[in-house]
């Protein structure tokens, strides 16, 4: 028997180059699009903040409020303790005390608070997180000028959902 020389055939090398070019064609444009990554990152960050505030309200027996400034594309956390009957809110200390500014080009498209303020396109709005685990019904749309992410929270369970695209959710009136 004859032993073959070690190495690749021309067909094998051609297939490898074809596979690599297809993969690079699909991956490189996504890697170059930093605004999409920033949008997705900020949407996920906001979802984590929703979950944390839900848990903090239950654990600490306080009402927390996530305040949105749609004009400046910022948000921050405020809280009220039980001694004030949940009426006097003060800005929280800690990581979110100074507020979070969404990086350019990411911004709020709108915030929908159907039970209190309706659809907000500008100005201030807020979502309240209560010690009993309930959360004010809220839908937040973030965009980067091209793509949109929708974040919404279920009021009774506190479950937070995140989806790509502008989702028009049917909300009870």
What CATH number is associated with residue 107?
Answer: 3.55.40.10
Whole domain around residue 81: which residue ranges? 37-164
Q: Per residue of the chain (173 residues), what is the pLDDT tens digit?
A: 555 667 778 898 999 999 999 998 888 776 666 788 899 999 999 999 999 999 999 999 999 999 999 999 999 999 986 655 556 888 877 766 678 999 999 999 999 998 888 999 999 999 999 999 999 899 999 999 999 999 999 898 889 999 999 998 765 44
Tally of domains within the chain: 1
Residue 6: inside a domain = no
Q: Give the pLDDT confidence score for residue 7 in this predicted structure.
A: 75
The reply to whether 113 falls in a domain is yes
Provide CB contacts within 8 A for 151, sequence distance 6+: 43, 46, 47, 50, 139, 140, 141, 142, 160, 161, 162
| CB 91, CB 80: distance < 8 Å | no
CA–CA dist 69, 58 (Å, integer): 25
* 3-state helix vs strand vs coil in the chain, percent to 5: 30, 30, 40
């Amino acid at each position: 028997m004859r032993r073959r020389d070690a190495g690749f055939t021309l067909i094998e090398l051609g297939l490898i180059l074809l596979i690599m070019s297809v993969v690079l064609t699909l991956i490189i444009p996504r890697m170059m699009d930093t605004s999409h990554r920033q949008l997705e990152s900020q949407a996920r960050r906001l979802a984590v903040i929703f979950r944390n505030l839900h848990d903090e309200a239950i654990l600490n027996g306080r009402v927390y409020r996530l305040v949105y400034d749609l004009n400046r594309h910022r948000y921050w956390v405020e809280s009220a303790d039980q001694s004030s009957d949940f009426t006097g809110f003060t800005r929280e200390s800690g990581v979110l005390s100074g507020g979070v500014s969404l990086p350019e080009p990411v911004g709020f498209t709108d915030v929908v608070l159907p039970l209190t303020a309706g659809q907000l396109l500008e100005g201030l709005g807020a979502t309240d997180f209560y010690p009993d685990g309930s959360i004010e019904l809220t839908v937040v749309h973030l965009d980067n000028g091209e793509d949109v992410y929708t974040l919404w929270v279920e009021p009774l369970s506190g479950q937070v959902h995140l989806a790509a695209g502008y989702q028009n959710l049917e909300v009870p009136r």
